[in-house]
Structure 1
Amino acid sequence: MRGWRMRAGCALLLAVSGCSAAPLATAQPTTQPTPSAAASAGSAPTGVVVHLFEWPWKSVATECRDQLGPAGVAAVQISPPQEHVVLADQGFPWWQDYQPVSYAIGSRRGDRAAFAAMVTACHAAGVKIYADAVVNHMTAQLYGVGSAGTKFTQTGYPGYDGAADFHHCGKSISDYSNRDEVQNCDLVGLADLATEREPVRQRLAAYLNDLLSLGVDGFRIDAAKHVPATDLAAIYAKLAKTAGGTAPVLYQEVLFSVSEPIQADEYLPSGAVLEPRYGPDLARALRTGGSLANLEGLGDGSGTPLVDYKPSASAVVYVDSHDSQRGGTTLTYQDGALHTLAGQFMLAYPYGTPLVMSSFTFDSYDAGPPADAKGVTLPVSCGHGWECEHRTLLNLVAFRTAVGDAPVSQWWTTDDQLGFARTGKGYFALNRAAAAVTRTVETGLPAGIYRDRIHGTAVTVDASGQASLTIPAQSALAFDLTSR
């Protein structure tokens, strides 16, 4: 429906971070209490997470076995596994997956059996599974049939009482300065769940617990900003432990601006949050005309310009996401080498948990993944409708693991190059210019011959810790103690 296309153009993807209607001067936001840290049921993600956006379950399993596990990737973020609307008349757009019909595990990516097999295969490869969970709303459709065959109406879904379990604000969100409207009105026509109600909380927790029973290790909480933090905390408190006996990982989508009443800090007691400013800041610095010097101190509050990012241990960062790559604020696969450089910097620099995007090719905002005539997603074949850009970054996973939490030192920048050491553990440098550049640098590493993890070439560090680096055009170098 047209309302959802408006969402695709701005309302959810960008409005929550600033692309919204002008605030009404008379808006009176209410105060939202912050949940107690004691109510937290989740943990923050660690390691490198790869987002296999819209990948079918069988392809995810194969990628875990053949690529991600061997590279040392910690986890995969998968697209929402629940039954969703099927919008054949709109060309099966990507966002139909974010309109739940029921909590049956049956999407265009595969059924429950395929999902369970995928989780098992990824775990066997040492890769955890984080599911994208839609808990704010159901569909924006008046009626229809879902991907698993369930009939529905806009407030009539399995397990819900349409008269009581949904908010009836009577309009879509337009004023992002009004807390009540943002959290109690419909997100561009999507039926808004009354998450303050205990039956709704129980239903959502039952769905998440079902995924945990299948071996899922954690969740990305979609549109968390549109659900009061206290409601989410109450839902999280009902979650079971993972199969490994730990609290599930939780990271929440709270796309905010400093002028809005709803801030990410409200959600931090329950888990990590996505840091929406990181990708745009990285893009501005790396694009032509941007200053690489602005990347110094990124995330610790000492950079230029100063940005008060969320604490590193509670922040999930990304070069681009499935939302931002359609909004123009971040670099994407369409930026080629610059996008790769941004990803390499993210993995080499010690801020946040990196979430690496893996896209399908698109030439319009609404375009869905490669699919058959019935809208069922086709197996992934890199280079044939699937970008698989994450594979260009897998060789940096070992570098990130090797340098651990070693601080940055020996920072330097020029107009088109930068470099820094991860003190005593490794060294990284990048070059965005169209020609190679040679520079002698202080690495802080023991003398020896190291293997550059990106190109496989040798780097010699002398007895004084210096190395003469030739950084290829629009590329980077990274080496560490374990590559010596």
Structure 2
Amino acid sequence: MRSRLSTRNRALAAIVAVLPATALLTSVTAAPAAAKPQADDRGVIVNMFQWNWDSVAAECAEVLGPQGFGGVQVSPPQESISLPGADHPWWEVYQPVSYQLTSRLGDRADFAAMVRSCDAAGVDVYVDAVLNHMTGQNNGGTGYGGSTFTDKHVYPGLYSGNDFHYHPQHCPNPSGEIADYDNLAEVQNCELLGLADLRTDFYYVRDTLVAYLNDLVGLGVDGFRVDAAKHIPADDLRAIADRVDADVYQEVIPGGAVRLDPYRASGDLLEFTFARKLKEQFHGNIAHLETIGESWGMQPDEYAVTFVDNHDTERDGSTLSYRDGPTYRLATVFTLAWDYGSPQVYTGFRFSGRDESPPANADGTVRPVDCGSGEWTCTHRDPAVRGMVGWRSAVAGAPVRNWWTNGDNAIAFSRGDAGFVAINNTSAPLTREFTTGLPQGTYCDVLAASDGQCVQVSGSGRATITVQPKDAVAIHVATE
């Protein structure tokens, strides 16, 4: 496992390292605020759930790269089960049949072309990697690449019965599935939702998973989100991650017998508590957000990957989602503005049923994304989100200062002397004089869809700003 510093950022760091000191000094007009080491060298990652490879490739070239996004997380690319009798639910991609790269999202050539397109646009690619299990189809089935199997524990030429956990040898629950999340043996040796649970302590299984991940790295993939990492013993996961030269962050949902801290040996952790607390505060009192982060029992800043929602939480209601409209947008603005963790922005498809397929053809292959169709959320294209990507880059490393709140549902703060944001989560306009922390000058709001209000900051760093109901205003030094 390599550090989270991306290939692009390592190259930039090398360039800076060889520049003469005078070249650096001449670009500085004022002493900047003291900066801490960055936890989010990845930049802002867009989690493009169920986008097919051609659509991701186009989005990297036309939107993500030009708008300054640092990375894209793509859905699992390995061959998965095809379930036409169930109308091709979204979770097909989380039931591997083989590790060939033919899926409902495209084939190997499509995937490789997507990675090249994103790399050319300066966007790192992170793959959602399913390592914990195979399918849950007891009677077998067929994958999108044509691979067939007759039992969920037998995959010809790949895995056979001894490569999986069973009751009573490993799993203490007679059903073979997880029932008690306070029992560590159940959580890690029984089946998650009936999915055949791989013995990741076996060298053969580890070698097979490492080969799959390294095949993707060979195609140019920069990192991985490890799905269901909680159900893989931390030592097993580290043994796999240590053999892969890639950035890693992991899905380890808090609660039960599994401790989160040991997983930091393999990489960072998706911060579910952050997302849940955002929902609580944006539906309650955002004044409390002044201290959100490690002091709330979350991961240390340098190990946290923050998000507002993902494909699971938008379905189980544990977090905000696109259905929350302006509140969701404000929570995304806050996440990108806040000095904690490495942020993701989630973009998926609109749905009415929990298992509903993404927009797809009759054979289950996902159709090209059309952000104007109303089928896809395309959150990353929201002017406020795009504006906050540039804002976050402008304030990188600067600490939170000049916190203000009305004690209820309006807050404001600066990031050093580089940027300022005000968030109004109320139903009434807010006009007041704020301490922005910025140098004297005129700055324009980066969140508006068209030309927004411009703000005159005085020599004392103060400015009178109007923030409309359920809206925000953000300015930074590069907008002067």
What is the TM-score when the length of structure 2 is the normalising length?
Answer: 0.88
1:388 matched to 2:414:
no
Partner of 1:293: 287
CA distance in 1, matches of 2:45, 2:71: 5
- 1:372, distance to aligned residue in structure 2 (A): 1.1
Equivalent position to 2:351, from 356, 362, 368: 362
1:79-478 correspondence to structure 2 within 5 Å: 79-142=75-138, 143-152=140-149, 153-169=151-167, 171-239=176-244, 241=245, 248-257=246-255, 260-287=256-283, 290-301=284-295, 307-384=296-373, 385-392=375-382, 393-414=385-406, 415-455=408-448, 456-478=452-474
CA distance in 1, matches of 2:98, 2:2: 24
Task: Give the partner amino acid of 1:339.
Answer: Y
Task: Give the partner amino acid of 2:46.
Answer: V
Work out whether residues 242 and 266 of structure 2, in 8 Å CA contact, stay in contact via their aligned partners in 1: no
CA distance in 2, matches of 1:64, 1:457: 30
Instruction: For structure 2, list consecutive stretches of 5 or more residues without a partner in the other structure.
Output: 6-39, 168-173
CA distance in 2, matches of 1:442, 1:350: 18
Task: Give the partner amino acid of 1:326.
Answer: R
Work out whether residues 446 and 465 of structure 1, in 8 Å CA contact, stay in contact via their aligned partners in 2: yes
CA distance in 1, matches of 2:432, 2:356: 44
CA distance in 1, matches of 2:217, 2:99: 13
CA distance in 1, matches of 2:157, 2:401: 55
Moved more, 51-60 or 426-435: 426-435
Partner of 1:23: none
Task: Give the partner amino acid of 2:371.
Answer: C
- 1:343, distance to aligned residue in structure 2 (A): 0.3
Task: Give the partner amino acid of 2:379.
Answer: E
- 1:158, distance to aligned residue in structure 2 (A): 4.4
- The Cα offsets for residues 267-308 of structure 1, whole Å up to 9 and x where unpaired, read as 001110111101110111111xx111210111041xxxxx12
Work out whether residues 68 and 394 of structure 1, in 8 Å CA contact, stay in contact via their aligned partners in 2: no
Work out whether residues 359 and 386 of structure 1, in 8 Å CA contact, stay in contact via their aligned partners in 2: yes
CA distance in 2, matches of 1:158, 1:401: 49
SS at structure 2 position matched to 1:133: strand
SS at structure 2 position matched to 1:164: helix
CA distance in 1, matches of 2:343, 2:223: 16
Task: Give the partner amino acid of 2:417.
Answer: G
Task: Give the partner amino acid of 2:391.
Answer: F
- 1:434, distance to aligned residue in structure 2 (A): 2.5
Task: Give the partner amino acid of 1:172.
Answer: E
CA distance in 2, matches of 1:96, 1:342: 30
SS at structure 1 position matched to 2:72: strand
CA distance in 2, matches of 1:202, 1:41: 19
SS at structure 1 position matched to 2:92: helix
CA distance in 1, matches of 2:202, 2:157: 13
CA distance in 2, matches of 1:409, 1:163: 58
CA distance in 2, matches of 1:367, 1:416: 35
- 1:416, distance to aligned residue in structure 2 (A): 2.5
CA distance in 2, matches of 1:167, 1:300: 36
- The Cα offsets for residues 334-353 of structure 1, whole Å up to 9 and x where unpaired, read as 11100000000000111111
- 1:330, distance to aligned residue in structure 2 (A): 0.8
CA distance in 2, matches of 1:296, 1:342: 14
Work out whether residues 185 and 192 of structure 1, in 8 Å CA contact, stay in contact via their aligned partners in 2: yes
SS at structure 1 position matched to 2:79: strand
Task: Give the partner amino acid of 1:428.
Answer: V
Root-mean-square deviation (Å): 1.2
Task: Give the partner amino acid of 1:336.
Answer: G
CA distance in 2, matches of 1:395, 1:359: 20
CA distance in 2, matches of 1:174, 1:284: 28
CA distance in 2, matches of 1:217, 1:147: 25
CA distance in 2, matches of 1:411, 1:116: 46
SS at structure 2 position matched to 1:342: helix
Work out whether residues 42 and 236 of structure 1, in 8 Å CA contact, stay in contact via their aligned partners in 2: no
CA distance in 2, matches of 1:130, 1:158: 29
CA distance in 2, matches of 1:402, 1:222: 32
- 1:405, distance to aligned residue in structure 2 (A): 1.4
- The Cα offsets for residues 238-269 of structure 1, whole Å up to 9 and x where unpaired, read as 22x3xxxxxx1100000012xx2211101001
Work out whether residues 54 and 78 of structure 1, in 8 Å CA contact, stay in contact via their aligned partners in 2: yes
- The Cα offsets for residues 212-248 of structure 1, whole Å up to 9 and x where unpaired, read as 0111000000000000010011111222x3xxxxxx1
Equivalent position to 1:54, from 50, 53, 57: 50
CA distance in 1, matches of 2:102, 2:181: 34
- 1:159, distance to aligned residue in structure 2 (A): 4.1
Partner of 1:17: none
Task: Give the partner amino acid of 2:292.
Answer: L
Task: Give the partner amino acid of 2:68.
Answer: G
- 1:435, distance to aligned residue in structure 2 (A): 3.0
Partner of 1:22: none
Identical residues among aligned pairs (%): 47
Task: Give the partner amino acid of 1:437.
Answer: L
Work out whether residues 254 and 273 of structure 2, in 8 Å CA contact, stay in contact via their aligned partners in 1: no
CA distance in 1, matches of 2:212, 2:59: 26
Work out whether residues 102 and 158 of structure 1, in 8 Å CA contact, stay in contact via their aligned partners in 2: no
Work out whether residues 160 and 200 of structure 1, in 8 Å CA contact, stay in contact via their aligned partners in 2: no
- 1:41, distance to aligned residue in structure 2 (A): 5.1
